[in-house]
Chain A
Amino acid sequence: MAVLAMKKINICAMKKDRKAVLEKLQAMGAVEINTSGEEDEIFKKINTTSQRSKYEKRVQNTDAALEILQQYVPEKTSLFSALEGKKEVEEEKLQEIIASRGKYNLMVKNIQELNKEIANCKAGINKCEVAIEGLKPWLNMDIPINTTGTKNTDVIIGTMGPGLTEDIISQMVLNRQPELSGFDVTVISTDKDQTCIFVICMKQTSAKLEEALRAEGFTRISYFSKRTPEGKVEKYKKDIKEYEERIEKLKTRLSELAEDRDNIRLLSDYYRIRADKYEVLGGLLQSRSTFVITGYILQRDEEEIVNELNDEFSLMVETEDIPEDETAPVKLENPKVFASAEGVLESFGLPGRGEMDPTTPMSIFYIFLFGLMLSDAAYGLIIFLACFIILKKFPKMSDGMAKSLRLFMYCGLSTLIWGILFGGYFGDLITVVSKTFFHHEIVIKPLWFAPLDNPMKMLVFSLLFGLIHLFGGLALKGYMCIKKKDFVGLISDVVSWFMLITGLVMMLMPTELFASIAQMSFQFSPAVKTLSYVLAAGGALIIVVMSGRDKKNPALRFALGLYDIYNLTGWLSDLLSYSRLLALGLATGVIAQVVNQMGSMVGDSVFGVIVFILVFMIGHTFNLAINMLGAYVHTCRLQYVEFFGKFYEGGGIPFNPFKENTKYVDIKEEK
């Protein structure tokens, strides 16, 4: 349970070594490099944008090539491939690829070109299909499309508005040019968009005739071909076939190239690493012949880093404690069980400056409260087994994923225990099954009590657990005060509240109100009663006097103190918030009962058993999913709002060392 100690590191080395030093640091992956140093007259940053974008471009190209391969030569991936993690690759293999990167670059280019060609072929096919569609109305015409006429006649082919017949068109023409004669109109086809016509006429009248037709909306056909429409369609169909064959050939070539997929991946990662290097290089301050790196390291790595750098290069490296005015990045370290909840903490915020790492106490409460909300032994067992199996089967999954799964595994275990305490096994499955199908009711008695039979008792215990959780938060605040040696703060912000709340609870317990809610009555001796009054009054007094202690004006200080007492309402609402433990616990149990009851409605028959199994599978899967989500969300909320609200602010920046950020493979260092 700790925020790891950080140190600041300063490295000054010869400029000629800069790339080698950076590559070394990148391979070690243990130094966070600060690239926001200010330039001055001697130390300048150099512009590496062009090299960086060169490598980024290559990353893009290789990634694009890989995507193309995935599209045409898909790799079989299982449902759980996201859990498998990256492949491990020997450093040697990487060097091999780098040495022959020219070959692979060519391959990448090749793949992209093939893709382009396939796209061109597809566009060609598309064009042919559109043309075939366009020629459909002309299929009845059995002369070549570009026929212009015979010796004495002209032929005009084209389209007019929809719904026309030969007579109407002739009439239209005569209306415009009454003297015209010796022409013949044939309608080839007509549909809702156009009428396709074919007109034959004497050469001398053709100009006038066409003018008349144009005035009525005629346009000449837009295809030019010496073939008949049918012949043209045949030609297009042949073209499509050729394109398709071509695509098949290109695809075969792609699948040949796909054999080198893993190598291309490696290359892509290599370029990615290089691009990162140049990005950092651009942020470094350099003089004419030296350069400077400043950054953060973990204290425990200090010796190793310094030694390794000194062994390999001639440079100056020094480490120092973090200066007062600087905020160091944060890295957490916790025992394996508790570290599982680090993800929960991270999504709220890492510890800020001077804050402790609350992961360990939080994880204990998290597992406890999650189980209490879900509280069904069978569900707990399912969650536990599922997480356990996945964790065992995919040992190389990403760190964050493994942590979350481990957390849920423990939560499952806690759910199992609470389920046994409250007597929930798929709700009341055993009772229902034994009653419906075996006509002999078996009831598994809860080890503690069934919340559904005694909700008030459960409510009181929920609030009690809540009080413990809140007091835990307050105690951690006290712990932080002690660490900072702020004893005034300890007394006035922590002890005072402990006294006030404890006193008030003790005052409440013997009252009738409490007895009627909790169905438990307490009789305190007068001494204890006096103690409760003293505690509450003392606590309140300290709060009134001390909480405005940084104000000079006594009236203002007093007023602020009184206002702070108003925070009691905050405590009350925090505490009532824990009633969700009861509500969510009941929700799981009751929905499970609804499912079981629905399943058993058909009764004891073969059909009844089938219905029961179906309802059981669907209903309980649904219930488990929705209540797991609910338990997850509300446990987070209780931690973030109620628990952290008492002592924790967060706002730390994660430690992000300069390392080989790969996408596809993990590079194994040779030792």
Chain B
Amino acid sequence: MTMGTVLALTGAALAVILAGMGSAYGVGVAGQAASGVVSEDPSKFAKVLIMQLLPGTQGIYGLLVGFIALSKIGLLSGNPAELSTQTGLMILAACLPIAIVGLVSGRHQGKTAVSAIGIIVKKPDQFGKAMLFPAMVETYAILALLVSILAVNGVPV
């Protein structure tokens, strides 16, 4: 096991941890708002559930990058590659976009989802538009995911 492997593993862990934290917060606040709605009007369950799930994707993106990084350094197949410190740092850096943007955008998407749930309560027919606002926030998580995937894939091991 080299220092490089440790750094690369840290990167994979950070991607999963931070992005997961962002999603957990986002899904959490949206879930609180959704519970309030369902307690008044159970027929809106499906709609608010979709809203609650929207901020959940960051965690999945984090998992995705984490997984690609792990398989890149060979930890999954059982024979980890001997990484130089530089390579390890490169993989760590490659994981950072989705880790950090996932954390921040997950939180904000959660808050936007709470407001969107407010739209569903007052104007249930405006579901399409309500869904769009949280989806806007997600764009930046997707851009970060893209760069992370391309970077992890591109690092020569």
Contacts and interface: CB of A to CB of B under 8 A. Distances in A.
B132 A629 contact: no
Contacts of A586: 64, 149
B143 A633 contact: no
Interface string B122-150: 00011111011001101100110110011
B135 A583 contact: no
B24 interface: no
A227 interface: no
A591 B64 contact: yes
A666 B64 CA distance: 50
A590 B138 CA distance: 19
B128 A587 contact: no
Nearest to B77: A597
A130 interface: no
B57 A630 contact: yes
Contacts of A347: 125-129
B153 interface: yes
Contacts of B125: 347
Interface string B60-76: 11011001100000001
A344 B76 contact: no
A594 B131 contact: no
Contacts of A348: 128-129
A352 to B, nearest CB: 15
Given A640-B132, A641-B132, A579 B143 contact: yes
B67 A594 contact: yes
Given A580-B139, A636-B135, A591 B127 contact: no
B53 interface: yes
A629 B134 CA distance: 13
Nearest to B148: A583
Contact of B63 (A344, A456, A459, A591): A591
A373 to B, nearest CB: 11
A634 B56 CA distance: 14
Interface residues of B, number: 30
A584 B127 CA distance: 22
B77 to A, nearest CB: 10
A626 interface: yes
Given A590-B67, A629-B53, A636-B131, A576 B76 contact: no
Contacts of B132: 636-637, 640-641
A582 interface: yes
A247 B35 CA distance: 35
Contacts of A459: 146, 150
A347 B124 CA distance: 10
A579 B53 CA distance: 21
A577 B128 CA distance: 19
A619 interface: no
A626 B135 CA distance: 14
A652 to B, nearest CB: 14
B50 interface: yes
B60 A583 contact: no
B54 interface: yes
A580 B136 CA distance: 12
A455 interface: yes
B150 A590 contact: no
Contacts of A633: 50, 54, 131, 135, 138
A637 B68 contact: no
B146 A583 contact: yes
A60 B35 CA distance: 28
Interface residues of A, number: 30
A636 B128 contact: yes
Interface in A516-567: none
Contacts of B53: 626, 629
A590 B127 CA distance: 30
A587 B66 CA distance: 12
Interface in A609-661: 626, 629-630, 633-634, 636-637, 640-641
B135 A637 contact: yes
A629 B153 CA distance: 26
A348 B61 CA distance: 28
Contacts of A456: 150
Contacts of B145: 583, 587
Contacts of B135: 633-634, 636-637
Contacts of A630: 57
A348 B142 CA distance: 23
A636 B136 CA distance: 11
Given A344-B128, A636-B128, A582 B61 contact: no
A582 B132 CA distance: 20
A30 B61 CA distance: 50
A67 to B, nearest CB: 14
A396 to B, nearest CB: 20
A579 B60 contact: no
Interface in A342-370: 344, 346-348
B135 to A, nearest CB: 5
A576 B128 contact: no
Interface centre among B127, B138, B146 (most CB of A within 10 A): B146
A44 to B, nearest CB: 34
Contacts of A346: 128
A346 B132 CA distance: 14
A637 B136 CA distance: 8
A436 to B, nearest CB: 13
Nearest to A639: B128
B139 A577 contact: yes
Interface string A325-347: 00000000000000000001011
Nearest to B128: A347
B63 A455 contact: no
17 contacts: A347-B128, A347-B129, A455-B150, A455-B153, A579-B146, A582-B146, A583-B142, A583-B149, A587-B57, A587-B64, A626-B56, A629-B54, A633-B54, A634-B138, A637-B136, A640-B129, A641-B136
Given A583-B146, A590-B68, A626-B60, 18 more contacts: A347-B125, A348-B128, A455-B150, A576-B143, A577-B139, A583-B61, A583-B145, A586-B149, A587-B64, A591-B60, A594-B63, A626-B53, A629-B53, A633-B138, A637-B135, A637-B136, A640-B132, A641-B132
